[in-house]
Structure 1
């Protein structure tokens, strides 16, 4: 499934995480709208989803600020000029991706249907294989021992 998604119908579209997030958010909406399985979830799930989305946006903003401070690219598939190990990067090597995953998870909770419940896992796999693994290889190549030390002491997600 993941290989089909990575190489199949989405091949050629802008390969950046917010676009992938948009695809998964749209898929969640479609599944909820046209195949709503078990929709008995209520206000608690909506509130939890909203809180998760709000927290995720805060983490993403905090993380993006560090790219600006270090004057390095935030775009995947571009070579960084600095290794960021401060701020949220002390706790997670990928706080922006964690935030994007939390947005999707929050949206699935907010929808209140079981039909899109597997989408956060699929999105996690896409982020890991399409962006995180290649970025980690690039960090090792560019920053060497410093990157290895950081990658070994800081968790990939949380």
Structure 2
């Protein structure tokens, strides 16, 4: 398996697309009470989720590099990984949702959904296949027990 685009760049592309939509699309503007607070909550959740997931990989002494998952030395299944198989990608999604709230354009929800679609089909499925090849039955059982996103 050889994935060429790092997920943070994919997230940055979708954030740029959100900005372009919010700037140049004349419809879809929205505002509601608490939008600013909700934006910061999404960003804080994204930050802590990313921090916790990186720390768990660090403590397990395994790679966080999604470009080459076959370098993984250990399957991390505890902590946050007992709730979601992809907390780092979930953190990126939460960041995009917060960014969409900042921009205040309803069409950004479609862009965030596009990020999920892209990640599922072009990143996660390839990672899952590589991890299944590497960890076999243990990874299959983990996939059955824990959801992909949340």
CA distance in structure 2 between the partners assigned to 1:50 and 1:101 by the alignment: 14
Q: What's the CA shift for 1:115?
A: 3.2
- What are the ranges of 5 or more consecutive residues in structure 1 without an aligned counterpart? 1-13
Contact preservation (8 Å) 1:46, 1:112:
no
Which of residues 4, 7, 10 in structure 2 aligns to 1:20? Answer: 10
2:148 is matched with which residue?
A: 156
CA distance in structure 2 between the partners assigned to 1:130 and 1:88 by the alignment: 23
1:87 is matched with which residue?
A: 79
Which of residues 122, 134, 139 in structure 1 aligns to 2:126? Answer: 134
Question: 1:59 aligned to 2:73?
Answer: no
Q: Flag the 1:144–1:33 CA change in 2: closer, same or farther, 3 A.
A: same
Which of residues 39, 63, 67 in structure 1 aligns to 2:29? Answer: 39
1:144 is matched with which residue?
A: 136
Q: Deviations over 1:86-128 (max 9, x none)?
A: 1110100011111101110111112111232310110001111
**Partner of 1:38: helix, strand, or coil?**
coil
**Partner of 1:155: helix, strand, or coil?**
coil
Contact preservation (8 Å) 1:48, 1:110:
no
CA distance in structure 1 between the partners assigned to 2:81 and 2:98 by the alignment: 22
108-117 vs 60-69, which moves further = 108-117
Q: How many residues align?
A: 145
1:101 is matched with which residue?
A: 93
**Partner of 1:49: helix, strand, or coil?**
helix
Tell me the TM-score normalized by structure 2: 0.90
1:113 is matched with which residue?
A: 105
CA distance in structure 2 between the partners assigned to 1:112 and 1:43 by the alignment: 12
